[in-house]
């Protein structure tokens, strides 16, 4: 017999309708936050950056690919990684299908990593992804936008409780310092009259919208069911037992 509260259909409907009001409030607040994001001041990007792409070396402005908006995800794949971060990889499983829809709204989406392009291309083939992915290997872009840090900056972190980091690092073919030198950042840019502006960035739990499966888990009877502290259950899609 379940230990969870059990009620009649009428009791469920009353509770569901009460919850629906709260959900609507959250939706309206989310719409308001989206408007506030769009009203943030823009920052002129004056520095020149170059990226290695499937079509040769390109500037940041050229990454827009003829569109006026650019959305970038700094995917954790450092120069000494042998495979991309499993968590970044789990989110990336949904990107290919979204690319066409974003292009229809004047948006170019792509991922950027510091690993050499040939590493990214090989991993992309393994994962079966089709979204654009470029390398900032010879550029300061990741450092300037908070996605990468020099290893000497990590000493205080490395002396603390690393939690699941050592396992994730080993999973990527690197050590804790190598793994933590990279970080996930989502950023937005716009291009007007040939000038690039930085308009928005987010990290940490601000990136959960990119992990599409969490929306499903949050509506499942057991929720995320990750434990406290949360267990690291996420794997690359070809590494689960039933893959």
Domain extent listing, the chain = 46-217
Closest alpha carbon to 141 in 59, 40, 227: 59
pTM of the entire predicted model = 0.93
CATH class of 46-217: alpha beta
DSSP state, residue 231 = P
Separation CA 34–CA 122 (nearest Å)? 36
Q: Which residue has the tokens 């079509």?
A: 55
Separation CA 141–CA 145 (nearest Å)? 6
Peptide bond into 229 cis (omega under 30): yes
3 state SS of 31: helix
- Which structure tokens are listed for 50? 């170059």
- Which structure tokens are listed for 42? 């823009």
Asked which of 2-11, 150-159, 194-203 is least confident by mean pLDDT, the reply is: 150-159
* pLDDT tens, position by position, 99-147: 999 999 999 999 999 999 999 999 999 999 999 999 999 899 999 999 9
* pLDDT tens, position by position, 10-53: 999 999 999 999 999 999 999 999 999 999 999 999 999 999 99
pLDDT of the residue at 216: 96
pLDDT of the residue at 98: 96
Asked which of 8-12, 140-144, 201-205, 225-229 is least confident by mean pLDDT, the reply is: 225-229
């Amino acid at each position: 017999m379940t230990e969870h509260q059990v009620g009649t259909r009428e009791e469920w409907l009353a509770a569901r309708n009460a919850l629906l009001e709260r959900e609507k409030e959250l939706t309206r607040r989310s719409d308001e936050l989206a408007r506030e994001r769009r009203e943030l001041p823009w920052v002129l990007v004056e520095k020149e950056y170059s990226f290695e792409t499937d079509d040769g070396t390109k500037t940041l402005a050229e990454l827009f690919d003829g569109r006026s908006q650019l959305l970038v995800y700094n995917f954790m794949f450092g120069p000494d990684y042998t495979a991309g971060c499993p968590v970044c990889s789990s989110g990336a499983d949904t990107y290919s299908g979204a690319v066409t829809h974003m292009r229809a709204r004047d948006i170019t989406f792509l991922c950027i990593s510091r690993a050499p392009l040939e590493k990214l291309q090989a991993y992309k083939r393994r994962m079966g992804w089709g979204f654009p992915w470029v390398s900032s290997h010879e550029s300061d872009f990741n450092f300037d936008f908070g996605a990468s840090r020099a290893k000497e900056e990590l000493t205080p972190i490395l002396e603390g409780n690393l939690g699941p980091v050592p396992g994730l690092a080993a999973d990527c073919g690197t050590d804790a310092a190598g793994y933590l030198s990279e970080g996930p950042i989502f950023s937005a840019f716009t291009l007007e009259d040939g000038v690039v502006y930085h308009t928005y960035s987010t990290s940490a739990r601000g990136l959960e919208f990119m992990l599409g499966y969490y929306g499903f888990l949050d509506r499942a009877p057991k929720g995320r069911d990750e434990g406290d502290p949360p267990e690291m259950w996420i794997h690359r899609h070809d590494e689960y037992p039933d893959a």
